[in-house]
Structure 1
């Protein structure tokens, strides 16, 4: 069992809930990590940052599997859908986005759905369990 945490130094860590020790470090953002989320199967950790990107990390190796750059501003919040193929992002540019993160049949790599019309920055997002 593990918990993921992000910090102001542009890094996230995976911590053991049993020992309280660091299991993995995820380094690569140039600015604070505002949000972390696990894919439903726990195999990947997503991080959202003030560098306007989302990174998807392999939880077992710590390697960066994918970097998604948003045009919505700083990424305040992220969450994965039930399949782990899509990530939602709440951004400071008054936008919420859905991005494809997996090269899978039906995942439409590069899908970029933007929810516009927010009058303030978007602090949090969630995807319903049924999608």
Structure 2
């Protein structure tokens, strides 16, 4: 996903990191004020907006909410210096004020989530009918098929 300031400054992060940052900020005292709705899609019926921060849909975080989010992230970072550089950069980004929460173009978010899922030691689910790798490389094609 990509966060955008009005001046065009962008911050790219994974949806997993975004959700983690929101939860961490809540635990550090941030009280979400809700987001402003994304632009209207003229090809779809209007829907009631509930102020969600996730999933990324072009919604806007207000300046006061962004500053409060930044402050909470700074408090969390001060309490645990092992939280990582990405959260530090996100706190800096939020400190600059209002921003949009947008999906990454293409399938970037899905790929980032898959990488994070597989790097955590989980296995990638196999689609039905997908060819499985051979377990015994010395087996003949006929033996592998049986």
TM bucket (normalised to shorter chain) is: under 0.3
Greater helix content? 2
Q: TM-score, normalised by structure 1?
A: 0.22
Please report the TM-score for the alignment, with normalisation by the length of structure 2.
0.21
- Would you tell me which structure has more strand in proportion to its own residues? 1
The higher-RCO structure (CA 8 Å, 6+ apart) is: 2
